[in-house]
Amino acid sequence: MPNVNVYDAAGAVTGEIALSDAVFGIEPHVPSMHLMVRQYLANQRRGTQSTLTRGEVSGGGKKPWRQKGSGRARHGSTRSPQWIHGGVALGPKPRDYGFSVNKKVKRLAMKSALSSKVRDGEMKVLSTFGLEEIKTKEAAKALRALETGKKTLIVTPEADRVVYLSARNIEGVKVSPANSLSVYDILNCDTLLLLQGAVGKIEEVFA
Please state the φ and ψ torsions of residue 5, each to the nearest 5 degrees.
Answer: -75, 150
Same domain, 33 and 131: yes
Q: Which amino acid is located at 129 in the chain? A: F
Determine whether 129 is exposed, middle or buried from the number of CB atoms within 10 Å of its CB (0-12, 13-18, 19+): buried
pLDDT confidence of residue 3: 87
> How many other C-beta atoms lie within 10 A of the C-beta of residue 49?
11
> Rg (Cα) of the chain, in Å, rounded?
27
- Cα–Cα distance for residue pair 171/140, rounded to 1 Å: 10
CATH at residue 164 = 3.40.1370.10
Q: What is the pLDDT of residue 132?
A: 87
Closest Cα to residue 9, out of 141, 199, 150, 159?
141
Based on the fold, state whether residues 63 and 29 are members of the same structural domain.
no
Q: Compute φ and ψ for 77, nearest 5 degrees.
A: -160, 145
Inter-residue contact 20 to 207 (CB < 8 Å): yes
Which amino acid, 153?
Answer: L
Q: Are residues 86 and 65 in the same domain?
A: yes
Whether 114 and 147 map to the same domain: the answer is: yes
Q: Give the range of the structural domain holding residue 36, as residue numbers without chain letter.
A: 3-46+100-206
- Check whether residue 162 and residue 194 sit in a common domain: yes
Domain stops at, among 60, 91, 122 = 91
Q: Do residues 40 and 65 both lie within one domain?
A: no
User: Same domain, yes or no, for 82 and 173?
Assistant: no
Q: What is the largest CA-CA distance in the chain?
A: 94
- Other Cβ atoms closer than 10 A to 171: 8
**Same domain flag for 108 and 125:** yes
What letter would DSSP give residue 107? H
Quick one: DSSP state of residue 180? G
Task: Please indicate, yes or no, whether residues 76 and 137 belong to a single structural domain of this protein.
Answer: no
How does pLDDT run along the chain (207 residues), one tens digit per residue? 688 999 999 999 999 999 999 999 999 999 999 999 999 999 999 999 999 999 999 999 999 999 999 999 999 999 999 999 999 999 999 999 999 999 999 999 999 999 999 999 999 999 988 888 999 999 999 999 999 989 999 999 999 999 999 999 999 999 999 999 999 999 999 999 999 999 999 999 987
Judge if 78 and 140 occupy the same domain: no
SS3 at position 113 = helix
Would you state the pLDDT for residue 2? Answer: 80
Query: pLDDT value at position 162?
Result: 95
Residues 161 and 121 occupy one common structural domain: yes
The count of domains in the chain is: 2
Q: Do 137 and 193 fall into the same domain?
A: yes
Provide CB contacts within 8 A for 97, sequence distance 6+: 42, 43, 45, 47
Instruction: For the beta carbon of residue 94, count every other beta carbon within 10 angstroms.
Output: 9
